[in-house]
Amino acid sequence: MEEKDVVKALAAMAQPNRLQVFRSLVVAGKQGATPGQLGELLGVPNATLSFHLKELMGAGLISQERSGRNLIYRVEFGQMNGLLAYLTENCCQGAEACLDASSTNCQC
């Protein structure tokens, strides 16, 4: 992942509502969620939610798909994992114990 993409992704998530939207979509998984579902869950007005979804899409963190009359939003897990990898690639100077995301052996 390039530095400019990392900065854009972090900037998109550096707002409480967008962070909540993103985390809710992570929980929704591959099924995704409609704006109505997200708005109800988070208590965010539709116009505000639309703005935040657009910002997250612009950063490549989520995608949108039309299903009949509904829009379905999903996390772009590849982009999310690329961001996490970029942020942790130099942890402990690249020691194997720190490269495994599920590891608790990091000695930083």
17, pLDDT greater than 60:
yes
**pLDDT, position 20:** 97
107 domain residue, yes or no: no
**How many domains does the chain fold into?**
1
**pLDDT, position 2:** 92
Tens digit of pLDDT for each residue in 45-72? 999 999 999 999 999 999 999 999 999 9
CATH number at residue 60: 1.10.10.10
64 domain residue, yes or no: yes
Output the six-digit token pair for 25: 């979509």
Q: Give the Cα separation of 28 and 48 in Å (integer).
A: 20
- Comparing C-alpha atoms, which of 43, 44, 22 is closest to residue 33? 22
104 domain residue, yes or no: no
39, pLDDT greater than 70:
yes
41 domain residue, yes or no: yes
Q: Give the Cα separation of 20 and 13 in Å (integer).
A: 9
108 domain residue, yes or no: no
pTM check: above 0.75: yes
**pLDDT, position 16:** 96
**pLDDT, position 45:** 92
Domain containing 90: what range?
3-99
23 domain residue, yes or no: yes
